[in-house]
Structure 1
Amino acid sequence: MSESEDGTRVEWREWGPEAFAEASERDVPVLVAVAAEWSESCRAMDERTYAEPRIAANVNDDFVPVRVDADRRPRVRERYNMGGFPSTVFVTPEGEHIAGATFLEPEGFRQVLQRVRETWDEKGEDAGSVPRALAGGEPPAAPVTGDVERLVAGQLGDQYDEEHAGWGTSEKFPLPETLSFALKRDRERALRTLDAVRRHLADDDGGFFRFAHARDWSDPQAEKTLSVNASLLAAFAHAYLHTGEDEYLDAADGVVDYLTGTLWTGEAFAASETPDGRIDETAYADGNALAAEALLTLASYTDDDRARRYAERTLDYLGEELVDGATVRHSAGEDAPTGLLADRARVVGAFAAAAQVLDPDYLDTARTVADAAIDDLQDATGAFTDGPQTGAGLLDQPLRPVDDTAAMADALVDLHHLTGDDRYLDSARDAVSAFAGAAERMGVQVAGYATAAARVADSPLVVRVADDPGSDLHRAALRMADHEKVVAADADGDPGTAWLETDEGATDVVDSPAALAELVADSR
């Protein structure tokens, strides 16, 4: 229990079937309060609303109050997220939505309590409904073509803020995956946005805030999370790869300073930091895998030994503590959920990256986890569901998240080119195809999906190196200016040579970094 949660007068229950059974027995709704450890708004609602004695008494008497940590239970978060944290959701004993909001001051909360009580008294269980994303129906499938990449790339200009940089006209989020997508397709706008992120969202310790409240990037929300910082580390590293400009390398180095100096727990990376400097030291599988991959990205472009060492230590932690064969645990502890799509996708991506940068032996873990995810989570639509369809509330309803499906598809493309196994490409194509019918309605926020679609529709640059990881030829392959490439080290071939694998077959071999650079340039 968090300090602010403990300070309220609400008799919080743990998420689970017992709370919903109690609500059914008492014939009352459930109040699901989804909070994040890093959120100032969550603490403010605890201090101003839930700590108010009369409100707490009303909640305790007329509802079953359930507190959920948004990071610890991501499947609950995605089903009951009202668009921000805290999410304040009133549901039936079956878990169906009655009403919801985000932050509520005491007076507003009293009004909502009254309306929910009246609705429940009038309609009972019929007051609830299942959100559209869970209400059945299949995603809008279509064949995978270059149209997905083209349509989303077009939105990079249409949705761009030419005055202040970034995408959108109100709050400004850094959108790291959009930045990485844009670096290959609209580099000038990507770099302008990275410059704005660097100027306005960077903290003194090298870390980056989650977002800014104003269109001009002012008034930043001063919490920092591992996922945002790891993703921005990768984006700044990619920018350095493409431009050679030290300002982007300096920004990436600053993020490494923050990750290793503030979020490192001694074993892995902590999840987040609040504006007042409190650290949630929980090490989550998806966030740590994302950090390991980002650190490997920087190390592959620069020979940064610190980034490499922390990537290796993080991979060791994942392999020893959270990954057991095909099973991926969300965090340490027996009650942590297992089998989540986000965890599996990021672990596959991290270990596939390690196979390219460090040692091909890392492929074994990537393949084991990927095989299980395909078998367990990819359904008849081709999309991946977010985890095992079991649990209280609406956890038994399938949810097919576009972002996590795209992350898995992207990692599967790597696996296909690293292993030669067509199963991975077929699975990636099916996953991307499941949503391709909605490409015309997609915005820049789903650029990660567009990246995966582009790599499925047209093979990425694939460099095979018949040399040991760390050799001059291997390091040169990693530095080719295309961050969506695949590099296979220790490939079968004449020792000390490299070549490109194309749709038409293998190119001629080369035996020097300069010749490899020329070969790549000629192939474009």
Structure 2
Amino acid sequence: MDNSSGVTHVEWREWGQEAFEEASEAGKPVLLALMTEWSEESHKMEAATYAEPRIAANINDGFIPVRVDADRRPAIRERYNMGGFPSTVFCTPEGQILTGATTLGIDGFREILDRVRRTWDSNGEEAGSLPRSLREEPPGGEVTARVEEHMVEQLLATHDDEFGGWGTDVKFPLPRTIEFALVRARDQATRALDAVQTHLLDTYDGGFYRFSRNRNWRAARCEKLADENAAVVRALAHGYRYTGEESYRESAERGVEFLTTTLWTDEGSQDGGAFAASQGGDEEYFRLEPTERENTDAPAVDETIFAGHNGLVIDALLRYYAYTDDEMARQYARQARETILNTLVDESGRVTRFHDGQTAGPSGLLVDQARLLRALTTSWSVLGEPGPAVAVADWTLDTLQTADGSFQDSPDDGTALLADPQYPLDTAVELADSLLDLWGLTGEKRYREAANDAIGTFAGAAERMGVEVAHYATVAARLDGLEVLTVGTEAESELHRAALRLADHEAVVVPEPASTITTRERPEAAACLLTDGERQGEARTPAELEALLTA
């Protein structure tokens, strides 16, 4: 993290085995500071608490301080996050957690430093513990129709009838939950979309704020992250597809404008540019009137190009293009895709998280493999351009899938808790969703089997899941009856374009010239609807296709 905004006397180390070995040799605990560029609290703590000379001297004397950009190192973030950023975590030299907190002022920091020192002096390594995610194995089980039924029940039970959205406290946009509801509880989905575009859309600079602190969607947190904006744009595009509501298209367009202007960057790229990571959430700036903003510097943009973030943006822009014919969205998606493929993907299909021109990030992380695969399957479906989708999927299956079918979040790094595998639900679901698309696109059953394994890993906990993980139920439902619409024409033909607009958003549209068809029997230049491989009917014109899909 850039420290140009403040002066610190803390002698920060880089994350790595060397820092933990130093702690072991010195008999000191580790102070791990997890920061993000978009978090105003991270910058304030950097400029105030860590810049206080006596605090810095205490840290340098009694601890081995390590600072990590949580966006650049998600595997560390998932193991050590204390619930927000900054996260201040105290660890043993073996990497186990002593205690932690989020934002701390000078007085609070002094207190926790003293408390940790006493605990360490009294109990040493025995005071450390593993986070829950590393203590428990994923609760496997059989994937049944009950998963989808339970999630619908959760939608009904937790919907906020007064203000829209789900829950009675902090309101997140929950775009994947909206997508699940669009085909199962559409009124709830549209109420949520209405709230998001009314309260989280920055009507002047474009883009969407992260969440609202209150049940009524007021008091927004103003950070704008590329991956979260992409997810909202995609949900709005799907909302427009189902309802024809122009405000959803217009709000999605404002999100696209933000992504392709404020977050478009060629920093660290030699291939024409891609999407930057985030824009900071300076609330004083975002509370200004438009005329006042014109004369004020906007919050800084983190120009790091993350493979996974770009994967979600590419997917969202192409979904938006499929429904609107917005050529600009298509062009930016293709350019970003080529930049990521040329700079962050090797021939085997392994994805590197980022490269900023000086430092290469970790490679082979499940989140980046899954999200880039999502971009490639969408590119295949919408543009007929698969890229290395199969290679990315196969590398992921060969390297990150375990013998029982679950997926670990990263290759073993060997440092502290990164030596212990973690099996994240959200990321496994993202991967499974993309693998199902790949099954539809290729007809290769191994991708469906891998998706089923990924979902089955958590099926034993399905009855305890809330609406925040409705994406899990979406993928479970797709496993039970995936619709594939094969189109015997080149991509972007009239019939193919109609298929993209008319098919359910959970279906897979497969453009393929008749000359390439070997396993799917149908007349040339016809669209064929299949459910789990079983033929349901065919159509030769957009009108026939609409009749087939609405029968």
Q: TM-score range by the shorter chain?
A: over 0.9
The residue aligned with 1:41 is 41
Q: Distance in 2 between matches of 1:180 and 1:159?
A: 16
The residue aligned with 2:544 is 515
Q: Distance in 1 between matches of 2:465 and 2:478?
A: 18
Q: Distance in 1 between matches of 2:5 and 2:441?
A: 47
The residue aligned with 2:279 is 273
Q: Distance in 2 between matches of 1:114 and 1:508?
A: 72
The residue aligned with 2:165 is 166
Q: CA RMSD in A?
A: 1.3
The residue aligned with 2:270 is none
Q: 1:4, 1:46 within 8 Å by CA — same for their partners in 2?
A: no
Q: Distance in 2 between matches of 1:511 and 1:373?
A: 37
- Per-residue CA deviation, residues 256-314 of structure 1 (Å, 9 max, x unaligned), is 11011110004000000013410100000000010000001011111110111111111
Q: 2:311, 2:375 within 8 Å by CA — same for their partners in 1?
A: yes
Q: Secondary structure at the match of 1:33?
A: strand
Q: 1:470 aligns with which of 475, 492, 495?
A: 492
- Per-residue CA deviation, residues 438-473 of structure 1 (Å, 9 max, x unaligned), is 0110001111111111111222x2111101111110
Q: How does 1:2-401 map to 2 (within 5 A)?
A: 2-3=2-3, 7-135=7-135, 137-203=136-202, 204-266=204-266, 267-276=273-282, 277-325=299-347, 326-332=349-355, 334-359=359-384, 361-362=385-386, 364-401=387-424
- Per-residue CA deviation, residues 216-243 of structure 1 (Å, 9 max, x unaligned), is 1111111110011000010000000000
| Number of positions where the alignment pairs a residue of Structure 1 with one of Structure 2 | 518
Q: 2:538, 2:548 within 8 Å by CA — same for their partners in 1?
A: no
- Per-residue CA deviation, residues 25-78 of structure 1 (Å, 9 max, x unaligned), is 110000000011000111121223111111111111100110000100000000
Q: 1:20, 1:30 within 8 Å by CA — same for their partners in 2?
A: yes
Q: Distance in 2 between matches of 1:246 and 1:229?
A: 19
Q: 1:442 aligns with which of 465, 485, 490?
A: 465
When normalised by structure 2's length, the TM-score is 0.92
The residue aligned with 2:523 is 494
User: 488-497 or 295-304: which moved more?
Assistant: 488-497
Q: 2:6, 2:51 within 8 Å by CA — same for their partners in 1?
A: no
- Aligned amino acid, residue 332 of structure 2: Y
Deviation at 1:380?
2.8
User: 85-94 or 275-284: which moved more?
Assistant: 275-284
Q: 2:441 aligns with which of 418, 437, 445?
A: 418
Q: Distance in 2 between matches of 1:129 and 1:345?
A: 30
CA gap of 1:234–1:81, structure 2 versus 1, over 3 A, is same
Q: Do structure 1's residue 505 and structure 2's residue 530 form an aligned pair?
A: no
Q: 1:242, 1:481 within 8 Å by CA — same for their partners in 2?
A: no
Deviation at 1:179?
1.2
Deviation at 1:168?
2.1
- Per-residue CA deviation, residues 199-226 of structure 1 (Å, 9 max, x unaligned), is 1111122200111112211111111100
Q: Distance in 2 between matches of 1:5 and 1:377?
A: 39
- Per-residue CA deviation, residues 154-212 of structure 1 (Å, 9 max, x unaligned), is 11121222221112222111111111111111111111111111111111222001111
Q: Secondary structure at the match of 1:450?
A: helix
- Per-residue CA deviation, residues 356-380 of structure 1 (Å, 9 max, x unaligned), is 1112x41x51111111111111113
- Aligned amino acid, residue 465 of structure 1: V
The residue aligned with 2:285 is none
Deviation at 1:143?
0.8
Q: 2:160, 2:166 within 8 Å by CA — same for their partners in 1?
A: yes
Q: 1:4, 1:47 within 8 Å by CA — same for their partners in 2?
A: no
CA gap of 1:499–1:303, structure 2 versus 1, over 3 A, is same
Q: Distance in 2 between matches of 1:214 and 1:110?
A: 32
Q: 1:241, 1:481 within 8 Å by CA — same for their partners in 2?
A: no
When normalised by structure 1's length, the TM-score is 0.97
CA gap of 1:434–1:108, structure 2 versus 1, over 3 A, is same
The residue aligned with 1:405 is 428
Deviation at 1:6?
5.3
Deviation at 1:4?
5.7
Q: Which runs of 5+ in 2 are unaligned?
A: 267-272, 283-298
- Aligned amino acid, residue 542 of structure 2: P
Q: Secondary structure at the match of 1:122?
A: helix
Q: Distance in 2 between matches of 1:5 and 1:70?
A: 18
Deviation at 1:392?
1.5
Deviation at 1:508?
3.6
Q: Secondary structure at the match of 1:253?
A: helix
Deviation at 1:507?
3.3
User: 282-291 or 272-281: which moved more?
Assistant: 272-281
Deviation at 1:519?
0.7
Structure 1 vs Structure 2: percent identity of aligned residues? Answer: 51
Deviation at 1:481?
4.9
Q: 2:170, 2:213 within 8 Å by CA — same for their partners in 1?
A: yes
Q: Secondary structure at the match of 2:32?
A: strand
Q: Distance in 2 between matches of 1:53 and 1:23?
A: 22
- Aligned amino acid, residue 512 of structure 1: T
Deviation at 1:504?
6.6
The residue aligned with 2:295 is none
Q: Distance in 1 between matches of 2:172 and 2:40?
A: 17
Q: Distance in 2 between matches of 1:198 and 1:311?
A: 23
- Aligned amino acid, residue 338 of structure 2: D
Q: Distance in 1 between matches of 2:161 and 2:110?
A: 43
Q: Distance in 2 between matches of 1:227 and 1:29?
A: 34
Q: 1:299, 1:305 within 8 Å by CA — same for their partners in 2?
A: yes
Q: Secondary structure at the match of 2:89?
A: strand
Q: Which runs of 5+ in 1 are unaligned?
A: none
- Aligned amino acid, residue 35 of structure 2: A
Q: 2:171, 2:215 within 8 Å by CA — same for their partners in 1?
A: yes
Q: Distance in 2 between matches of 1:87 and 1:177?
A: 26
Q: 2:9, 2:53 within 8 Å by CA — same for their partners in 1?
A: yes
Q: Distance in 2 between matches of 1:59 and 1:253?
A: 48
CA gap of 1:78–1:504, structure 2 versus 1, over 3 A, is closer
The residue aligned with 1:458 is 481
